Amino acid sequence: MDGLNYNLNFTSNGGAIFATINTGLNNVQNNVQKTTKVFGDCYKALLSVNLAADGIAQLDQMLESVIAPGIALNTQMADLSAITGLTGQGLKEIEKAARDSSKTFGTDASQNVNSYKLILSQLSPEIAKNSEAMKMMGNNVNILSKTMGGDTVAATEVLTTAMNQYGVSTKNPIAASKAMADMMNVMAAGAKEGSAELPQIKQALEQVGMVAKTTGLSFVETNAAIQM
In this prediction, residue 98 carries a pLDDT of: 87
> CB of 183 within 8 A of CB of 163?
yes
- 74: CB partners within 8 A, 6+ apart: none
In this prediction, residue 28 carries a pLDDT of: 58
> CB of 157 within 8 A of CB of 140?
no
> CB of 219 within 8 A of CB of 178?
no
Q: How many CB atoms lie within 10 A of CB 150?
A: 14
Which residues in the chain come in under a pLDDT of 70?
A: 1-70
Q: Map residue 78 onto helix, strand or coil.
A: helix
What is the torsion angle, in degrees rounded to the nearest 10, for the CA atoms of residue 96, residue 97, residue 100 and residue 101? Answer: -150
> CB of 165 within 8 A of CB of 206?
yes
Question: According to the 3-state scheme, what is the secondary structure of 128-190?
Answer: HHCHHHHHHHHHHHHHHHHHHCCCHHHHHHHHHHHHHHCCCCCCCHHHHHHHHHHHHHHHHHH
